[in-house]
Amino acid sequence: MRAYGFKSNGGPEVLEEIQVPVPRPGPGQVLIEVAYAGVNFAEVQHRRGEFGEPAGPGGYDVPGLEVSGTVAALGAGATAPAVGAQVAAYLPAFGGYAEFAVADTDFVRPVGRLPLAHAAGVPCVYPTAYGVLTDAGRLHRGETVLIHAAAGGVGSAAARIARTLGASRVFGTVGSETKTQLAEELGYDALFVRDAFEDAVLEATEGRGADLVLDPVGGPVRQAGLRVLAPFGRVVAYGDLGRHADWTADVRELWKNNRTVAGYNIGDVARRSPATIGEHLSRALSALASGALASVPPAVVPAADIVEVHRRHEAGRSHGKTVLALAGHRAG
């Protein structure tokens, strides 16, 4: 089958079209004929080597954390979804940039009426968004939320989900002034440039600050996030897009100022509480299909353009969700 992978870590140019065997589903797994594969920043990190060197079949790793498509075969003990069902799946071990992928049934759910192109951007992004808001962030009705990397897949999903969970105001930060004009399109009350968000957030909240800050950036942005917290506010760290050196929070400062730092990692949740991922995935697909959660169409690009897609993501020149169309599939 056709796939897109890399044999050595490096820049986007290490990605190449390859031929690899069709994988076989193991116990409790399904084989999916992939229609679309979502693109996430974690796949940029995978390619760069932040998760280790390639060690897949033939020395290649195939990125891809989320896909949509049709169930083609069932592994031992798997009874649902049935062969022929249209599904979306989260792939914690990657493998989505391919014509076929295997997934544990814990992480596979029917797409319902949601188009497959839309569904491909759900399985990693939306469980993460629900997780940082509810599991780690403990969002309460009426609270103010600040979302860093607001124009990305998780950020834009979290903004819409926060509204459905009762957030009173949702602010975001972006890397450049040009992106602040996307606020209404992405569902924010306002977007601020990330390098100067502290004063803007405090002014917008009449000095009170934000109750919940979602931070995949790290470094000085994370430290500044602590300073804009309202009483009993929480910063949820769920990434390190800025590739900053780690820092140590001062526990005395936390308890003296009624602040909390929490963490969220979808890979750890998948290992230790897989049912949580499945529940959030079902919830997201249902809400998107019914219209209870606004479904924003992704940018659909040919899988053969993967190098340019990674280049844009790494440079911060994308917003919203991008999915790859795998050639030869009946798109739905």
What predicted TM-score, i.e. pTM, was given to this entire model?
Answer: 0.93
- Return the structure tokens found at 22: 């069709």
**CATH code for the domain of 207:** 3.90.180.10
Does 331 score more than 70 pLDDT? no
Instruction: Check if the beta carbon of residue 259 is closer than 8 Å to that of residue 237.
Output: no
Q: Are residues 25 and 106 in the same domain?
A: yes
Helix pair 197-204, 220-227: axis angle to 10 deg:
20
Q: Are residues 74 and 116 in the same domain?
A: yes
Cα distances (Å, whole numbers) of residue 236 to 16, 126, 252, 259, 264: 35, 16, 18, 11, 7
The pairing of beta strand 16-19 with beta strand 2-5: antiparallel
Number of domains, the chain = 2
| Residue 131 covered by a domain | no
Range of the domain at 169: 138-263
- Chain mean position to CA 278: 15
Q: Are residues 248 and 297 in the same domain?
A: no
The average pLDDT across 293-306 equals: 92
Q: Are residues 256 and 285 in the same domain?
A: no
What is the edge-to-edge ordering of all strands in the sheet holding 190-193? 190-193, 169-174, 144-147, 210-215, 229-237, 259-263
Residue 212 CA to residue 226 CA, distance in Å, equals: 10
Does 250 score more than 80 pLDDT? yes
Helix pair 306-314, 41-48: axis angle to 10 deg:
100
What is the pLDDT at residue 179?
84
Per-residue pLDDT band at 332 (split at 50, 70, 90): very low
Q: Are residues 111 and 152 in the same domain?
A: no
Please identify, among 214, 239, 263, the residue that sits at the C-terminal boundary of a domain: 263
The average pLDDT across 258-282 equals: 97
Q: Are residues 166 and 211 in the same domain?
A: yes
| Residue 128 covered by a domain | no
| Residue 133 covered by a domain | no
Query: pLDDT tens digits for 20-68?
Result: 999 999 999 999 999 999 999 999 999 999 999 999 989 999 999 999 9
| Residue 57 covered by a domain | yes
Instruction: Check if the beta carbon of residue 65 is closer than 8 Å to that of residue 96.
Output: yes
Please identify, among 244, 263, 282, the residue that sits at the C-terminal boundary of a domain: 263
Phi, psi of 260 (to 5 degrees): -135, 140
Please identify, among 240, 263, 286, the residue that sits at the C-terminal boundary of a domain: 263
What is the pLDDT at residue 330?
41
Per-residue pLDDT band at 328 (split at 50, 70, 90): low
Phi, psi of 199 (to 5 degrees): -60, -40
What is the pLDDT at residue 259?
96
What is the pLDDT at residue 327?
61
Instruction: Check if the beta carbon of residue 150 is closer than 8 Å to that of residue 159.
Output: yes
Q: Are residues 163 and 243 in the same domain?
A: yes
Q: Which of 38, 86, 81 is nearest to 63 (CA)?
A: 38
The average pLDDT across 91-103 equals: 97
